[in-house]
């Protein structure tokens, strides 16, 4: 049975957010390496840990969303959306 369009769109959107969280974490790690070598201020351990844990949890949830159909897959996709909102809102807006 083919999944309906809203489910596919939600899963695609959560996949983009998941990839964005992983890319943001990679950029932060690169910035941390650069700033520790130059002595400049940069992201601290709390920011790195928070982004890393959120990225890992988002990848795990996205794997579930991609492999399960129905409510379980939709819930996992919404978990990714919520994680992205929490990370971006918590670390970058406030």
Share of the chain above pLDDT 90, in %: 88
Cβ contact 30:24 at 8 Å: no
CA distance linking residue 82 with residue 4, whole number of Å? 22
**Domain locations in the chain?**
5-93
The answer to whether residue 11 scores a pLDDT higher than 80 is: yes
Instruction: Check residue 1 and give its pLDDT.
Output: 54
Cβ contact 34:42 at 8 Å: yes
pTM check: above 0.95: no
Average pLDDT, the chain: 94
In the chain, how long is the greatest CA-to-CA distance? 57
């Amino acid at each position: 049975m083919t999944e309906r369009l809203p489910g596919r769109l939600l899963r695609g959107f959560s996949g983009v957010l998941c990839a964005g969280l992983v890319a943001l974490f990679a950029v932060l790690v690169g910035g941390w390496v650069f700033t520790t070598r130059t002595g400049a201020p940069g992201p601290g351990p709390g920011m790195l840990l928070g982004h890393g844990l959120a990225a890992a949890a988002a990848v795990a949830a996205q794997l579930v969303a991609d492999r399960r159909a129905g409510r379980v897959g939709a819930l996992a996709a919404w978990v990714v959306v919520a994680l992205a909102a929490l990370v971006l809102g918590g670390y970058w807006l406030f």
